[in-house]
């Protein structure tokens, strides 16, 4: 495994590696005859033929998140409707409906927005905390982190859900 220098394309590196492989085959025909080098990007090596299933999984997770956000919004709307109904039917109220209390609903929305921001910080800080508690012999965990694109995706989907349900 290696890293390309900045500005070097994979095709250029493949050409240089082919030249090196040819020289090695000439100098050491017993061990290097008929062998070559094929360079593959790390992304292609890791993902391979799984790119399409991973995209399908991303979309499925997005829909599950959308459904969960819609359920929470539906529960908030049902709670607000029950509160308004309770206020209209309170004793001594007569037939006139009282003014609803939108500040309660706004407070609940603000709590969810605040929770969303806290969730972003917790994910990032929590991973760092867990990595700090993990023994150092697990060297493959050094690259574990919160993917900013996945975090941005969940943040955007939750905001879109809130906007669509307003």
Lowest average pLDDT, out of 44-48, 100-104, 124-128, goes to: 100-104
CA atoms within 13 A on the CB side of 159: 8
More confident residue, 4 or 113: 4
* pLDDT of amino acid 139: 61
- C-alpha to C-alpha distances, 153 to 20, 57, 90, 101, 160, nearest whole angstrom: 44, 13, 44, 33, 10
CA-based nearest residue to 116, from 58, 59, 61, 161 = 161
* pLDDT of amino acid 15: 93
* pLDDT of amino acid 91: 58
pTM over 0.75: no
Handedness of CA 123, 126, 128, 131 (dihedral sign): negative
């Amino acid at each position: 495994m290696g890293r390309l220098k900045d500005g070097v394309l994979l095709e250029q590196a493949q050409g240089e590696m082919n030249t090196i492989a040819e020289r090695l085959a000439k100098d050491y025909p017993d061990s290097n005859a008929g062998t070559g080098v094929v360079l593959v990007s790390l992304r292609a090596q890791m993902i391979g033929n799984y790119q399409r299933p991973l995209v399908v999984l991303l979309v499925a997770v997005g829909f599950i998140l959308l459904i969960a956000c819609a359920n929470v919004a539906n529960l908030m709307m049902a709670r607000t409707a029950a509160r308004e109904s309770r206020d209209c039917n309170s004793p001594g109220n007569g037939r006139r409906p009282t003014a609803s209390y939108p500040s309660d609903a706004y407070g609940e929305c603000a709590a969810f927005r605040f929770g969303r921001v806290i969730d972003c910080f917790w994910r990032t800080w929590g991973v760092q905390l867990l990595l700090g508690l993990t023994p150092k012999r697990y060297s493959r965990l050094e690259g574990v982190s919160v993917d900013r694109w996945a975090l941005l995706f969940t943040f955007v989907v939750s905001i879109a859900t809130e906007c669509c349900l307003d």
